[in-house]
Structure 1
């Protein structure tokens, strides 16, 4: 029932654009696998083999640490409404931070978001669809503003202090280089 693709075609791109939630998975060479749900208006398909994900400040910074070590990343989308479908994007990623050469160009592709931490630029090696027929229906009721409200309240200096206190290493002690 699954099908592999070498690129994000028009149908897959349309499916991605319709989803309100996606999941990001990375793993270090040794240690814990990280799997996190993501939302907001934070995902862009730039081409058939390149996507961007705007990452905001959170409790950890596992993706940055893992990509520094081995660059592997998987993004998964599930249909919770309408026709069942699961889409996984397999690839390699790199972190782009404010001050990096491509930051100003890429940040313009996203709405201004309090607590923005980095953009992950992902080269998609392959995409895979599977049936998703066992995935339950869920109704989207709206975005949560809790994280945006918290980040706005912290301000830019408060966010940087949070990064220094909480985001410099992964849960396995790997460096994230957030402050570099």
Structure 2
């Protein structure tokens, strides 16, 4: 049923490129912390090579993924087929957070749309690529992207978004450090 791949090949890249949503799973090192699973959408995912991917991290109410990556780097990204042939693809690896002002920022951000409210780019060195059947994943019809997150950031404006990140994205719900680049 399931298969492990040497890396992200053209067939897997095509499958990933057709998906409208992906899920990111992370957890802190300690057993008391909260595991986090976060859905992602919009045009925010890029395959940089057979063993490297990146996604654009837009401002949200929490900062769990960033905090967990700073804590231990562990991350799993999952894609599910909601139409066509059933399939689940998981990318297991070590992630890192690149914020505005970091050395890689200009190069990485150039590969993404100019969305308002961007807070970082998450880069993942993929250690394992595996699929599974997806037989129990339901069929859904894609109706379109939601516009609320982009509209929210545009309406608030850059200054208010920076204030929001300073209040909401400085640390995780478990008290782990989040964004470095937020102002005091």
TM-score (norm 2): 0.96
Residue from 46, 63, 68 that aligns with 1:66: 68
> Secondary structure of the equivalent of 2:93?
strand
**1:178 offset after TM fit, Å?**
3.5
Q: In structure 2, what is the Cα distance between the partners aligned to 1:80 and 1:40?
A: 16
Structure 1: runs of 5+ lacking an equivalent: none
> Secondary structure of the equivalent of 1:129?
strand
Q: Which runs of 4+ in 1 moved over 6 A?
A: none
Please state if 1:24 is matched with 2:62: no
- Residue 58 (structure 2) aligns with: 56
Residue from 97, 108, 111 that aligns with 1:109: 111
Q: In structure 1, what is the Cα distance between the partners aligned to 2:49 and 2:116?
A: 27
TM-score (norm 1): 0.98
Q: In structure 2, what is the Cα distance between the partners aligned to 1:168 and 1:69?
A: 14
Please state if 1:93 is matched with 2:100: no
Q: CA RMSD in A?
A: 0.9
- Residue 12 (structure 1) aligns with: 12
Question: Does structure 2 conserve the Cα–Cα contact (< 8 Å) formed by 1:163 and 1:178?
Answer: no
Q: In structure 1, what is the Cα distance between the partners aligned to 2:179 and 2:98?
A: 11
**1:156 offset after TM fit, Å?**
1.0
**1:102 offset after TM fit, Å?**
1.1
Q: In structure 1, what is the Cα distance between the partners aligned to 2:180 and 2:15?
A: 32
Q: In structure 2, what is the Cα distance between the partners aligned to 1:57 and 1:177?
A: 11
Q: In structure 2, what is the Cα distance between the partners aligned to 1:165 and 1:176?
A: 11
- Residue 165 (structure 2) aligns with: 163
Q: In structure 2, what is the Cα distance between the partners aligned to 1:51 and 1:45?
A: 4
> Secondary structure of the equivalent of 2:37?
strand
